[in-house]
Each structure stands twice: as C-alpha cells, then as structure tokens.
Structure 1
Amino acid sequence: MSDTANGRFMYFAFGSNLLKERLQLANPSARFCSTGRLKDYELNFGLWEKHVDNTWHGGVATIESCPGAEVWGVIWTLSKDNLCSLDKQEGVNLGMYSPLEVLVETDKGLVLCRTYQMNNFHACPPSPQYKQVVCLGAEQNGLPVDYLKRLEAIQTNNYCGPSILDQIKPVMK
C-alpha cells in the first residue's frame, strides 16, 4: 500500500487535517487512502508554548505515547511536492511540531506513515471551531462511532470569533 515509488507519501492525520477541505487548502494533492488506528498513543490538545496565539484560538491536536491507548485517523496519500507545504502547515520550521514515522493499523495491514507530534506540549482546550473541524473530518471519513463520541465530548474554550473554519466552509460541499 506504499505510494513512495510514484512520488507520493502516506500521511496519518488525526486533528484538523481529518477534514479533506482543510487539508486541501494548502495540500491540493491529498487523496484519501484509508482510515486507521495508531496504537499506544493518545490524542491531546494543547499549545507548543504556554501563551502563544494561533489561528485556531485554542489548543490543537497532538499525539502522545500512551501504552494501551489508541488514536483513530485518516491516511492520506500526498504528492512529495506537498511535503514542504504540509511541514509548513504543521509549523515544523517554527519548532511547533516534529515529523514522526508511525505504523498505522488498517484493515489491509500496517502502513508506515508520516505524522506530526507537538514539541513543548502545554495542555489547552481547543476552540469550538477547531473541535468542529476535527469532528466533521472524523464523520466525513467514517471513523468509528465510539471514537466520534469521544471527540464530541471534548471540552472547548468557548472562543466565538473568526477562525480558519471561515475559510473552510465555502469549499465544503
């Protein structure tokens, strides 16, 4: 299931990039490959610096090692031409996230994927808009109902101003 031979790479998304329209804002080559489960990690929301302002106005998703836990997400295949734009979106150049290679379980076996883990994690609840994008993406791609319920139960910071969601809504079908 590896696409590396034809100039593409596999990317495991678990946060706002679960939503196709969000991912394709900066990475138009993204194509759905599969849903999958990352074992021994848990999903958390936070900031890479304690008092940093970000475009989502709250905590954003990251994964943390946690034996026995699991994170569901989407495996996208992207053109290697989008590797720089994906890294930029994840703030690799600013030290916000570091790329990580993980083995993701799918119904067709294990898939080696690129994903991202936040540096200097500080817990912080997400904005309602960020949570909405994560939940929409989980629903859009058919993640398990139990996992969707866990996402929907996440507490937010009640932010109610403009956000990236305003850019995504017009492109959603």
Structure 2
Amino acid sequence: MLYFAYGSNLNIDQMAARCPCARPVGPFDLVDHELVFRGVADIVAKPGARVAGGLWRITEECEKALDRYEGVASELYRKEFVTVEVDGCEERALVYMMNRTSVFPPSSDYLSTIAEGFRDFGIAIETLKDAVLRSVSGTWVSPRSPRKKTRPASNSPRTACT
C-alpha cells in the first residue's frame, strides 16, 4: 500500500523506528490540498494548492503503527485515501487528516523533524515555511468538510498496478 506523508513521517529516521518495513518511493506533490499546522501538521482540501510530501510503500503492520502514532483510535486524525500516479499508474494512497480545525504554529523541535524529512526527500523547504507563517499569522480559515468514515486499508480498492 502507498502512504502519503507530509509532516514528521517524511523523516526517514523516524519512519525507520516506527515502521521498519516502510520503503520510501519518492517525493510527491498532492494537488488541491494545502499544508497547515494545528500544533502538528495537517492537510486540507484547497483547489489549486499543492502539498509537497513523500510517498512510502508500507505494510499492514506499518499501517497499524501509523494508526497508533497518528491517534486514529482517539480521533485526533482520520484515515482517507487519495489517488496518486506512480510510474504512469494510478494508485490509492493512505493519508491522515486531522479532525481539529484550530490553527497554531508547531514547536521548533517538531518543525526541525519535518525539515529534516523535507531534506531526506529532496523537497524545497519554502512550502514548509509558508505553512508555518500562515499558522503564526492565523490567517488561514478552515473549509473543513464533514468527517468521513474510513475503511481499513485491507479493504481499500485494488488498482490496475497491483
């Protein structure tokens, strides 16, 4: 399964500890979404925007570890699936999105972890800086859609590339 990371899970060292079987696929821009901070990283739908992040190939065990890390059981984050194109094939990728809507900046340690992940994936740091500035200024307003029920990854649709 593919997983789209945009926050601390871009950090290769952290993912190695959390999900030793995860393999980086490469950098990826998720269209029509924007990176925001709610103390921690989140993405929201925004037409015309792009979120720089990275794709990982993960196992079911990795998914369970990520669910724990992201607080899915406590409803901090929810799981959704987005369509991505890898090597000319469309696939579904897991992504975690927050259930909060408040906006505030991340801690410097957390931000450093993400910045290291941006370097790990060769992603330009400007988009990260822009998201932090929006969280400091508090100018971002949430167009959050109603929460969706998620389905376990093991029930996620198969694609022609599997």
TM-score, normalised with respect to structure 2: 0.76
Correspondence 1:19-98 to 2 at 5 A: 19-46=11-38, 59-98=39-78
Is the alpha carbon distance of 1:102 and 1:60 closer, same or farther for their aligned partners in structure 2, counting shifts above 3 Å?
Answer: same
Is the alpha carbon distance of 1:107 and 1:138 closer, same or farther for their aligned partners in structure 2, counting shifts above 3 Å?
Answer: farther
The reply on whether 1:151 has 2:128 as its aligned counterpart is yes
> Could you say what the CA RMSD is over the residues aligned between the two structures, in angstroms?
1.8
- Secondary structure of 1:29's counterpart equals coil
State the distance in 2 between where 1:149 and 1:112 align: 27
The equivalent residue for 1:113 is: 93
Q: How many residues align?
A: 134
Which residues of structure 1 form unaligned runs of 5+?
Answer: 1-8, 47-58, 158-173
Contact 1:13 1:76 (C-alpha < 8 Å) held by counterparts = yes
**Structure 1 residue runs of 4 or more that deviate by more than 6 Å after TM superposition:** none
1:110 is displaced (CA, Å) by: 3.9
State the distance in 2 between where 1:107 and 1:125 align: 35
Contact 1:13 1:74 (C-alpha < 8 Å) held by counterparts = yes
Output one character per residue of 1:77-111: Cα deviation in whole Å (capped at 9) or x when no partner: 11112221110111001110000101235564543
Aligned equivalent of 2:4, options 1, 12, 18: 12
Further displaced range: 31-40 or 104-113: 104-113
Q: What percent identity do the matched residue pairs reach?
A: 34
Q: Which amino acid is 1:84 matched to?
A: K
Which residues of structure 2 form unaligned runs of 5+?
Answer: 137-162
Correspondence 1:109-148 to 2 at 5 A: 109-143=89-123, 145=124, 148=125
